[in-house]
Structure 1
Amino acid sequence: MAERSEIECWLTDMDGVLVHENDAIPGASELLAGWEAAGIPYLVLTNNSIFTARDLSARLRSSGLHVPEDRIWTSALATAAFLQQQVPGGSAFVIGEAGILTALHDAGFVMTETDPDFVVVGETRTYSFEAITRAIRLINRGARFIITNPDATGPSAEGPLPATGAVAALITKATGREPYVVGKPNPMMFRSALNKIGAHSKRTGMIGDRMDTDVVAGIEAGLHTVLVLTGISDQAEIEKYPFRPDEIVRSVADLLPSGPSES
């Protein structure tokens, strides 16, 4: 496994690593600017499939971070790339919002409720019982079941919201069919990100804040893994898992050229 000094490309999670809610985490702006100035290929990754890369670029800009939309890789984009490879010019019935709908449209897919190749479930704030029922019936008729990410809940100001994984569980219970998950912790998402920037796993690092998605998927994809403690992970959380990242640092500020680190 490469040392940090040998890393030529970077993948980084967004929430908990670069931003917390709508605030940039100290050091994030400098890290991104340093990569840009040095011409280091990188992508910002997120399991959120609601928004397009353009939407997320604007959100990051409002937080004081400059990330061009072509430097953002979502589970929706990874899902579209995977399905385009599986069935070029295929068809899908989609439960989701602009992120996954735009990604599939741009990949040449037709959205239909009539004998689609795939049923694709992504993140949405308005799950419809009618749409879920339609998805169940289409899967029972032979459509392949895909979900953008496995997250069971998502955050809101009022508390947790049911997310893609929870809706997928309902569909699985009704059909007996397990979905194929494209987003983290499937290393497929990292491999598609590597392909997008022409990177090799042996010379690429992954920065994340979750052991159960970022770190385990990074390890399985053969990346140099860095866990930051600005998200959900602390030492007690780390101890729950039988694997370890290559590095543990307090925040992305410790990855700046002058920043200290601990592992």
Structure 2
Amino acid sequence: MGGMTSRLQPPKRTVRAWLSDMDGVLVHEEEPIPGAADFIARLTGTGRPFLLLTNNSIYTPRDLQARLHRSGIDVPEDAIWTSALATAQFLDNQRPGGSAYVIGEAGLTTAMHEIGYVLSEREPEYVVLGETRTYSFEAITTAIRLIEKGARFIATNPDVSGPSIHGPIPATGSVAALITKATGVEPYFVGKPNPLMMRSALNRIDAHSETTVMVGDRMDTDVISGLEAGLRTILVLTGSTKADQIERFPYRPTHVVDSVADLVDLVDEWNDESQEVVDFAP
């Protein structure tokens, strides 16, 4: 890998909790990445607090749990945290019991219903844009008109494209850009790289940033959001960011490894309170 992967030394501070991205780290679409099932099994079996994070707002945690199970990866439903859940939590904290016009699928609409929001296009307080495989021109037009009338603009995540079996497809960020161009209003993005997503994940598993590691495959979302939230970061080279691209960024991950398979044994090793204190650096 051009010398980019680094020797796996113990960290200065013990690692008590793990956050991890899903696509590109554990799976490619529904194909498991070698070592992913073992990594999750080790976390589950040893009782380490962990949470899987995804910017994908299409699916509910139950849907994602079923998809991972079909890939041979068994994850508790409550160990999955989506941008839809983070968005709903954010709105519940900001304006409890509010109303929103929502563009999205079950992952987002279910999360909004569960916090008690009314989904309506009649003078909603928010327009909430999520991901869907079937963006409707009519729905986008409605969103534009509501924002022009004063509705606040929220988007689940800034990803401009997403993966599919046929290649990249437009995602939330691309449609948000269209709406912004039409209205002049920028959305507030809740998902990665907003550190708000990371903080909400840490709170969910009662973890502290100083003793938690973020595992991801993208420098521009996973690594930077972990960095800005005060976490140590591990970049795996099985997803979006390749080894020769790392030096292009003005920030670096704490560690670079070939794949999640390299992390299986470290779940226990890095939790050893008696280990010698050495540098955790590439």
Q: Relative to structure 1, is the Cα distance of residues 58 and 91 closer, same or farther in structure 2, using a 3 angstrom cutoff? A: same
Contact 1:121–1:148 (CA<8 Å) still a contact in 2? yes
For residue 124 of structure 1, what is the aligned residue in structure 2? 132
CA deviation string 1:21-68 (max 9, x = no partner): 222212211111111122111000111000000000000000000011
* 4+ residue runs over 4 A deviation: 258-262
For residue 138 of structure 1, what is the aligned residue in structure 2? 146
Instruction: Measure, in 1, the Cα distance between the counterparts of 2:65 and 2:48.
Output: 18
Moved more, 209-218 or 250-259: 250-259
Map 1:103-252 to 2 at 5 A. 103-252=111-260
Give how far 1:92 is off. 0.5
Contact 2:29–2:164 (CA<8 Å) still a contact in 1? no
The DSSP-based 3-state class of the residue aligned with 1:37 is: helix
Moved more, 33-42 or 220-229: 33-42
Give how far 1:5 is off. 6.1
For residue 10 of structure 1, what is the aligned residue in structure 2? 18
Q: Structure 2: where are the runs of 5+ without partners? A: 1-9, 270-279
Q: Match for 1:77: what amino acid?
A: L
The DSSP-based 3-state class of the residue aligned with 2:248 is: coil
Q: Relative to structure 1, is the Cα distance of residues 63 and 4 closer, same or farther in structure 2, using a 3 angstrom cutoff? A: farther
Map 1:16-95 to 2 at 5 A. 16-95=24-103
Q: Relative to structure 1, is the Cα distance of residues 258 and 173 closer, same or farther in structure 2, using a 3 angstrom cutoff? A: closer
CA deviation string 1:127-168 (max 9, x = no partner): 111111111111111111000011111222333221111111
Contact 1:202–1:222 (CA<8 Å) still a contact in 2? yes
Instruction: Measure, in 1, the Cα distance between the counterparts of 2:133 and 2:260.
Output: 31
Contact 2:13–2:210 (CA<8 Å) still a contact in 1? no
Greater length-normalized contact order (CA 8 Å, ≥ 6 residues apart): 2
How many residue pairs match? The answer is 262
The DSSP-based 3-state class of the residue aligned with 2:48 is: coil
Instruction: Measure, in 1, the Cα distance between the counterparts of 2:162 and 2:260.
Output: 24
Contact 2:191–2:197 (CA<8 Å) still a contact in 1? yes
TM-score, normalised relative to structure 1: 0.95
Q: Match for 2:129: what amino acid?
A: V
Contact 1:4–1:224 (CA<8 Å) still a contact in 2? no
Instruction: Measure, in 2, the Cα distance between the counterparts of 1:201 and 1:155.
Output: 30
Q: Match for 1:11: what amino acid?
A: L
Contact 1:42–1:71 (CA<8 Å) still a contact in 2? yes
Q: Structure 1: where are the runs of 5+ without partners? A: none
Give how far 1:19 is off. 1.0
For residue 257 of structure 1, what is the aligned residue in structure 2? 265
Give how far 1:262 is off. 8.9
The DSSP-based 3-state class of the residue aligned with 1:239 is: helix
CA deviation string 1:182-214 (max 9, x = no partner): 011111111111111111111111000000000
Instruction: Measure, in 1, the Cα distance between the counterparts of 2:12 and 2:204.
Output: 21
